[in-house]
Amino acid sequence: MPQARYFELPITEVIKRRSSTRSYNPVQLPDEVLEKLKAYSREIRGPFSGRVRLVFLDVSAFEEQTGKKIGTYGFIRGAQHFIAGIVAKGEKDLEELGYVFEQLILYATSLGLGTCWLGGTFRRKSLQEAVALKKTEMLPAITPVGYAARKEKMLDMGISGILSREKRLTKRPSGPGPSIVGQRKPKRKPWPELFFYQRLGYPLPKNEAGDFQAPLEMVRLAPSASNRQPWRVIKSEDCWHFYLEPSLLTNKVLGFEIQRIDLGIALCHFELTARELGLPGNWIVLTTGLPSLGAEKLQYVASWRLSP
Ligand SMILES: Cc1cc2nc3c(=O)[nH]c(=O)nc-3n(C[C@H](O)[C@H](O)[C@H](O)COP(=O)(O)O)c2cc1C
């Protein structure tokens, strides 16, 4: 868990500062910044056994070598660097990718950089070659990384028209609120729709979450594909159980279960916050003893077991 040595800000602050940046200052990042990101990326370990590769791509080198552009269908402007997230196919692969990649995204945020998860609006084909994707691997997502353009706000709002037409892939933020680059903050679901006690339908009041109020709030603020926020968390005696409420359309359009990435992101936010607060525990995947749900459409992912 490398964040303590690297992050200069509290993780809750970093999570609050992150938001999707789609317009970048078109300049190269200094070598030392890239080196910091690469060094950090080598140390991240996820909760499952999946093998994740994070490959840094320089736009001009990519264009020179392949004669192609890193295509984002016009969603991303100005970015000179991208990071590709690759994972070996297997059990909990997408969750592992979500966890590991989000940790790097948070580190980039802590360095003042902008990022934007892209799981739908990028051209996979030319990238697959550039990262030497193996048959045993998949390339579910990439992110641009760089300094947000000063005109980010206006450009991002321009993009919003396109985004609202592309609702299947990404839902447009709405509602006021500050962020580092001054974009409008996307809405999040309220607590009673996300966090429960013992079973679905019994919302967990914020003031009854005890020490875990902050880790849960950081789950609530997490990014998710099309901002669907599919995470559901149920508290039992000694565990927080994490589930996915799938949106069939979101997953079907892309041909892979992109929302399992969202769950990995949620686990990352929860664990980093819990660890920073000194709340010990670990991830387990239960096969028995899960809460009776009352809603079978949820998919179980993992549980955070409190250490005694
Ligand atoms: C797994 C994943 C895939 C995403 N794919 C895209 C995408 O293809 N294009 C895009 O513009 N935004 C994409 N997003 C960004 C979401 O739309 C964004 O996180 C969400 O609307 C919340 O906004 P925020 O990140 O500013 O908090 C993706 C986010 C996640 C987590």
Domain with 25, as residue range(s), is: 1-151
Q: Is residue 225 part of a domain?
A: yes
1 pLDDT tier (thresholds 50, 70, 90): low
Q: Sign of the C-alpha dihedral, residues 32, 36, 42, 48?
A: negative
CA of 80 to the centre of ligand 1 (A): 19
Alpha helices in the chain (DSSP H): 3-6, 11-17, 31-43, 59-66, 93-110, 124-130, 152-165, 213-220, 248-254, 259-276
Residue located nearest, by CA, to atom 7 of ligand 1: 118
> Is the pLDDT assigned to residue 198 strictly greater than 80?
yes
Residue 11 has pLDDT above 60, yes or no: yes
Number of domains composing the chain: 2
Q: What predicted TM-score, i.e. pTM, was given to this entire model?
A: 0.91
Q: What is the mean pLDDT of the chain?
A: 88
Q: Are residues 109 and 207 in the same domain?
A: no
Give the atom of ligand 1 at the shortest distance from the alpha carbon of 122.
8
Query: How many Å lie between the centroid of ligand 1 and the Cα of residue 228?
Result: 9
261 Cα: distance to centroid of ligand 1 (angstroms)? 11
pLDDT tens by residue, 128-178: 999 999 999 999 999 999 999 986 555 555 554 444 444 444 433 333 333
- Residue 252: what pLDDT? 73
Question: Above pLDDT 70, what percent of the chain?
Answer: 86
Is the same domain home to 139 and 196?
A: no
Q: Which residue has the tokens 């070996």?
A: 88
Q: Is residue 45 part of a domain?
A: yes
Ligand 1 nearest-atom number relative to CA 185: 26
Tell whether 174 is covered by a domain. no
pLDDT over threshold 50, residue 267: yes
Task: Please tell me whether residues 146 and 192 are part of one structural domain.
Answer: no
| Residue 199 shares a structural domain with residue 65 | no
Q: For residues 123 and 215, state if they share a domain.
A: no
Any idea what the CATH number is for the domain that residue 68 is in? 3.40.109.10
CATH at 308: 3.40.109.30
Distance 225 CA to ligand 1 centre (A): 5
Same domain for 24 and 141, yes or no, is: yes
Residues 127, 35 share a domain: yes
**Closest by Cα among 7, 149, 151 to 78:** 149
- Nearest in space to 147 (alpha carbons), one of 181, 118, 101, 105: 181
Same domain, 132 and 191: no
**Residues 13-65 pLDDT 10s:** 999 999 999 999 999 999 999 999 999 999 999 999 879 999 999 999 999 99
Alpha-carbon separation of residue 132 from 25, 44, 138, 143 (angstroms): 28, 21, 11, 18
Q: Do 219 and 139 belong together in one domain?
A: no
Same domain, 195 and 61: no
Q: How confident is the model at residue 88 (pLDDT cuts 50, 70, 90)?
A: very high
Q: Which residue has the higher pLDDT, 5 or 187?
A: 187
Helices (H) and strands (E) in the chain, counts: 10, 9
Say if 157 falls within a structural domain: no
- CB under 6 Å to ligand 1: residues? 19-20, 75, 116-121, 141, 169-171, 173, 186, 223-227, 258, 261-262, 265
For residue 76, which atom of ligand 1 is closest to its CA?
11
Confidence of residue 7 (pLDDT cuts 50, 70, 90): confident
Which of 117, 142, 244 most suits a substitution to test ligand 1, by most atoms within 8 Å of the C-beta? 117
| Same domain assignment for residues 146 and 195 | no
Quick one: pLDDT at residue 49?
86
Same domain? 58 vs 196: no
Rounded Cα–Cα distance for residues 23 and 78 (Å): 6
| C-alpha 118 to ligand 1 mean position (Å) | 6
- The rounded Å distance from CA 238 to ligand 1 centre is 32
Mean pLDDT along residues 204-221 = 96
CA of 19 to the centre of ligand 1 (A): 9
- Which ligand 1 atom lies nearest to the CA of residue 22? 11
